[in-house]
Amino acid sequence: MTAISHQKLKPISGDRALDARAQALSDIIRAAGALAQAAFETGAGGFEMKGPQDFLTETDAAVEALVRNQIAQRFPEDGFVGEESGSSPAAMTWVVDPIDGTANFARRIPHYCISIALVSAEEVLLGAIYDPAHDELYFARKGHGATRNQTAISVSSVSDPQAACVELGWSTRIANRTYLDTLGQILSAGPNVRRAASGALGLAYVADGRSDAYAELHMHPWDCLAGLLLVQEAGGTICDFLESGGLTAGGGVLAATPGIAALMTAATGITCK
């Protein structure tokens, strides 16, 4: 895993430039998903361990290479940050997780995705999350709303904790006791809690109203930037991930429907905008 160089970059301007990248993002992420799903269905490649509960497959590298190469061909001036291959920031920088939910992917569980965000001057302009196993493409452009397969989506209207369903991600960077204490705080407040092992899809599900909140005490930017934009554009409440240094070091993530955001902040200690 790599960190993004801490460097102030001037934003690129013009709707036309962003229009071109939005279309390219849709095309590229679908191509990446097709490659990933073909490998998933055949079980090709197996996996190795980068660390405790940190899976790596041959498909991670292949998908990231596809995305990197297609972006370089179309927008050679843009920067690229991939989970597996390093950091080269620019005025426009693509932040990529080639397989989010690698543990699921490696064990043939069809709950994984490709996550890509476009960042300029520490602002997320585009975000896409593609679930190839179910052919669901989540897409957001700052100020233009969020969609699933080109249909507008919105967060849920749930405000009763006893009716809420939330997800709490787990990270080896956080002590087990801290994680369990946070889990206990959420359960005591009333929501049902689950963990499905793909933080990016967890965030997409909040944007789509399938889940009412997603929280994780530490995430990397490639895991969450696209999903946070999705939730924000779908009417949800999100944390200040970039303003708190998340672009360089990662950090806590919280995204929720407004009706239970305060409850989740109280339980996790992660504040929202």
Tens-place pLDDT, residues 126-139 = 999 999 999 999 99
Tell whether 60 is in a known binding site.
Answer: no
Average pLDDT of the residues in 249-254: 93
Tell whether 100 is in a known binding site.
Answer: yes
Identify the pLDDT of residue 6: 36
Average pLDDT of the residues in 23-46: 91
Q: Cα–Cα distance between 116 and 95 in angstroms, integer?
A: 6
pLDDT tens, position by position, 180-220: 999 999 999 999 999 999 999 999 999 999 999 999 999 99
Tell whether 216 is in a known binding site.
Answer: no
Residue entry with tokens 């998908």: 63
Tell whether 15 is in a known binding site.
Answer: no
Residue 260 has pLDDT above 60, yes or no: yes
Tell whether 83 is in a known binding site.
Answer: yes
Q: Cα–Cα distance between 119 and 71 in angstroms, integer?
A: 14
Q: Among 65, 34, 30, 60, which Cα is nearest to 46's?
A: 60
pTM of the model: 0.91
Side chain identity at 146, as an amino acid letter?
A
Side chain identity at 36, as an amino acid letter?
A
Split at pLDDT 50, 70, 90, the class of 230 is very high
Residue 1 has pLDDT above 60, yes or no: no
Q: Cα–Cα distance between 249 and 246 in angstroms, integer?
A: 5
Residue 13 has pLDDT above 90, yes or no: no
List, edge to edge, every strand of the sheet that includes 136-141. 86-88, 79-82, 93-100, 113-120, 123-131, 136-141, 146-148, 151-152
